[in-house]
Structures are given as C-alpha cells and as structure tokens.
C-alpha cells in the first residue's frame, strides 16, 4: 500500500526547488557556452544540465524512497527502459522546455510525477524562472504557489466551462518531429483551429487565438490555472504529461489520452513504442487537456 502522498509531496516540492536552483545556474552558464547536443535531430535538444538534474533527482529519490521505480527522460534516452509496473514510480522530465532553457525564454520547468498502480497520483511542476510551483495530489486538489518565504498559495479550482472552441485560447506545440508525415497533418489541424470558415477554410473553428509556451508541462499547468482553455499535442512522452495530468484533473480539467492510454501503451505485447502515447481519437497520438469539454470539438 502506498503510504503518505502528503509527505511524498513535501519531499518532491523540496526536490523541485533544489533542482530549480541548478536549472537557473545552468541557464546562466548555457548562455555563454554552446554546449548543446542534439538527440534525434537538430531541433531535439539536450544539455549537460538535463542530465545533471535528472541524476540529482534520481539519486535523491533513491535515498528517500529506495523501493520506488524511476522513469526519466534522459535515462530513457540513454537506454534505460523500465517497464511500468504497479509499484510507485516517479516519472520525471528534468527540464521540460529544453529549447526555451537554451534560448533563455523563461518557460522551462522540472516535472515530477508519481504513478501508482499505473495511475498518475501526484504531480509537481516548478518553473524556477518565474518561481511558479504547481502541485497536485489525486483527490486532494491542485495549487499554484508563488514565492518561497511568504508563499501565496492559490487553489486551482472551478474552471469556467468553455462554450465552444471559437471562444477558446488554446495551446499547441510544433514538437521536434518536423517530417512531412507529422507536420503536414499537424499544421492542417492548426489551420482548422485558427482559420475562418467564412473565408473558405474548411472546418475552420476560428478560436480566439493559439499559443505555444514551449513546455508541455507548463501548457498543462496554464490550463489548470485557467489562462488557457485547452492544450492539444501530438506525441508527448509520459514524463512531459504525468505530473500535469494530476494537476489539470484536480483543477477540474479533462484529459484525453491520459493514464489509461499510458497503461495500455506500456502493457506487455503492445506493438506501440511502450513509452509513446497510444493513438487516440482525433488525429493520431495526442494528449488533449481541456478545462471543460467544448461542445464543438
Ligand atoms: C518537449 C516540450 C515541448 C513539447 C514536446 C516535449 P523537452 O519536452 O515539452 O514543448 O512539444 O512534446 O517533448 O524535450 O523540452 O523535455
């Protein structure tokens, strides 16, 4: 039986703030060096800080909770592919928004999710550049805390229902997969979200506008906070969304392609890359995180 989620949250928040200090130091340093590596292509970036933050987090978790399993973006990239089990498992993106981190655009964060019995149950997302801390525990609500010494802690609750996509401020991401197979249908979806049907854009929904914060976890947090109505992305990884799923759901948001898809994708015999999200309803693999279900989706 999983013990005390509240004490795990206290530990995780402290860890996120420690990691945040390292992320800030790294951001200063990276502006003066060109120490940026590429993963699958020239826009899929990783730095020594992604690796260092993950190492720090992994070792602190192992000290505090030796029986917990660990899934991390950089461990996965370097070949450690732990199967998701029913055991408590931290699912970690050490720096979500690495491109922002490299460019000095202050929307990057650490995302620490805890999965138990294949369900995300706890999430901590910390943007050290803005000192925004998002936390959530399944069944216990989610919060945004600003400031450390005299923190202002706001509950993230009661989202306004969204009457239609037409009235929505929504987020999408370009992602790092820039091949034709992904980018053409993706940008067609962007066109339909933004376009004016009266001017011949078939299926155009003419949403209020579209944003890209450059971090899946921060897009999701912004939905939870109410600044965005919807976040849609094809091809997120579990560590991008695990913590955010708890935070958004606890704030009254709806998640499509959530832990059920995560569990299915990681079950034995799945022909899908086990750490990718399963294909979902509209246009291929995606996570769709919304504040309230619009009637015209
Ligand atoms: C990426 C960012 C990006 C999103 C990608 C993520 P990373 O994470 O969240 O906004 O479009 O799907 O993988 O590589 O910065 O950790």
Domains of the chain: 5-155 (3.30.540.10), 165-290 (3.40.190.80)
pLDDT at 295 over 90: no
Say which of 93, 138, 229, 250 is annotated catalytic.
Answer: 93
Closest ligand 1 atom to 218 CA: 9
In this structure, the residue with its CA closest to atom 15 of ligand 1 is 97
List the single range of 25-39, 93-107, 113-127 with lowest mean pLDDT.
25-39
Q: 67 vs 137, 145, 293, CA distance in Å?
A: 20, 29, 38
35 CA to centre of own chain: 25
**Span 148-181, pLDDT tens digits:** 766 677 888 756 666 667 888 889 888 888 888 7
Output 88 or 229, whichever has higher pLDDT.
Answer: 88
pLDDT at 138 over 90: yes
> What is the percentage of the chain residues whose pLDDT exceeds 70?
80
Query: How far is it, in rounded angstroms, from Cα 174 to Cα 76?
Result: 22
- Of the pLDDT bands very low, low, confident and very high (cuts 50, 70, 90), residue 187 is confident
Checking if the pLDDT of 282 tops 70, the result is no
Q: What is the per-residue pLDDT for 2?
A: 59
98 is catalytic: yes
ipTM (interface pTM): 0.93
* Concatenated DSSP letters of the chain: ----HHHHHHHHHHHHHHHHHHHHHHHHHHHH---EEESSSTTSEEEHHHHHHHHHHHHHHHHH-TT-EEEEHHHHHTT--PPP-SS-EEEEEEEE-HHHHHHT-S--EEEEEEEETTEEEEEEEEETTTTEEEEEETTTEEEEEE-SSS-EEEE---PPP---GGG-EEEE---S--SHHHHHHHHHHHHHHH--GGGT-TT----SEEE--S-HHHHHHHHHHTS-SEEEESS--HHHHHHHHHHHHHTT-EEES-HHHHHHHHSTT-SS-TTSPPEETTTEE-EEEESS--TT-
Q: Over range 240-251, report the average pLDDT.
A: 90
Task: Determine the Cα–Cα distance for residues 102 and 33; give it in Å rounded to an integer.
Answer: 10
- Angstrom distances, CA of residue 225 to CA of 61, 150, 276: 28, 20, 26
What tokens does 48 get? 């020594």
pLDDT tops 50 at residue 273: no
pLDDT mean over 281-296: 44
pLDDT average, residue stretch 133-162: 82
Q: What are phi and psi of 67, to 5 degrees?
A: -85, -10
Active site residue 73: yes
Report strand pairing: 132-137 vs 36-38. unpaired
| pLDDT at residue 31, rounded to an integer | 80
Closest CA to 239 of 115, 147, 88, 117: 115
Return the best residue to mutate from 97, 113, 219, 239 for the ligand 1 pocket (most ligand atoms within 8 A of CB).
97
Span 34-62, mean pLDDT? Answer: 84
Taking only the tens place, the pLDDT of each residue in 250-268 is 988 777 654 344 344 333 3
The catalytic position among 50, 73, 229, 250 is: 73
pLDDT of residue 113: 95
CA-CA distance, 211 to 217, in Å (whole number)?
A: 14
Task: Check whether 233 has a pLDDT greater than 80.
Answer: no
- Respond yes or no: is residue 96 known to be catalytic: yes
Q: Is 99 one of the annotated active-site residues of the chain?
A: no
Residue 293 has pLDDT above 80, yes or no: no
Q: How far apart are CA 28 and CA 21, in angstroms?
A: 11
Is the per-residue pLDDT at 234 higher than 80?
Answer: no
Q: Is 35 a catalytic residue?
A: no
Cα–Cα dist 253/160, whole Å: 10
pLDDT score of 226: 86
Q: What residues are in contact with ligand 1 under a 6 Å CB criterion?
A: 73, 93, 96-98, 173, 175, 214-216, 233, 235-237, 240
Mean pLDDT over all residues of the chain?
A: 80
Catalytic residue among 74, 240, 245, 247: 240
Question: Tell me, what's the pLDDT at 151?
Answer: 66
Which residues does 115 contact at the CB level (< 8 Å), separation at least 6? 84, 88, 89, 90, 91, 121, 242, 259, 262
Q: What is the pLDDT of residue 86?
A: 86
Q: Mean per-residue pLDDT for 128-138?
A: 96
Residue 292, pLDDT above cutoff 70: no
DSSP collapsed to 3 states, 152-217: EEEECCCCCCCCCHHHCEEEECCCCCCCHHHHHHHHHHHHHHHCCHHHCCCCCCCCCEEECCCCHH
Across the strands, what pairs with 93?
111
Can you give the pLDDT at residue 170?
A: 87
Mean pLDDT calculated for residue range 33-59: 83
199 CA distance to ligand 1 middle (Å): 33
Residue nearest atom 8 in ligand 1 by C-alpha distance: 96
Q: Among 49, 94, 96, say which to mutate for ligand 1: greatest number of ligand atoms within 8 Å of CB.
A: 96
For the ranges 21-35, 131-145, 255-269, the maximum mean pLDDT occurs at 131-145
Q: Is 295 a catalytic residue?
A: no
Q: Which residue has the higher pLDDT, 284 or 211?
A: 211
Residue nearest ligand 1's atom 5 by CA: 175
């Amino acid at each position: 039986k999983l013990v005390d989620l509240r004490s795990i949250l206290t530990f995780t928040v402290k860890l996120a703030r420690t990691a945040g200090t390292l992320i800030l130091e790294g951001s200063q340093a990276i502006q003066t060096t060109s120490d940026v590596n590429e993963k699958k292509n020239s826009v899929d970036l990783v730095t020594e800080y992604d690796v260092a933050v993950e190492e720090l987090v992994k070792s602190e978790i192992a000290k505090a909770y030796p029986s917990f399993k660990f899934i991390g973006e950089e461990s996965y990239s370097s070949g450690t592919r732990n199967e998701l089990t029913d055991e408590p498992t931290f699912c970690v993106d050490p720096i979500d928004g690495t491109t922002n981190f490299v460019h000095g655009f202050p929307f990057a964060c650490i995302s620490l999710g805890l999965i138990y019995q294949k369900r995300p149950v706890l999430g901590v997302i910390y943007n050290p550049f803005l000192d925004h801390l998002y936390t959530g525990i399944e069944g216990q609500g989610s919060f945004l805390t600003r400031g450390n010494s005299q923190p202002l802690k706001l509950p993230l609750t009661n989202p306004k229902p969204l009457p239609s996509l037409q009235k929505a401020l929504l987020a999408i991401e370009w992602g790092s997969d820039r091949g034709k197979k992904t980018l053409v249908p993706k940008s067609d979806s962007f066109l339909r979200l933004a376009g004016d049907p009266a001017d011949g854009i078939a299926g155009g929904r003419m949403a209020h506008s579209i944003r890209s914060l450059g971090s899946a976890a921060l897009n999701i947090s912004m939905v939870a906070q109410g600044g965005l109505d919807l976040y849609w992305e094809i091809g997120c990884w579990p560590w991008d969304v695990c913590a955010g799923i708890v935070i958004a759901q606890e704030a009254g948001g709806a998640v499509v392609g959530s832990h059920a898809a995560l569990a299915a994708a990681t079950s034995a015999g799945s022909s899908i890359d086990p750490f990718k999200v399963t294909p979902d309803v509209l246009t291929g693999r995606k996570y769709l995180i919304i504040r309230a279900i619009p009637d015209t989706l």
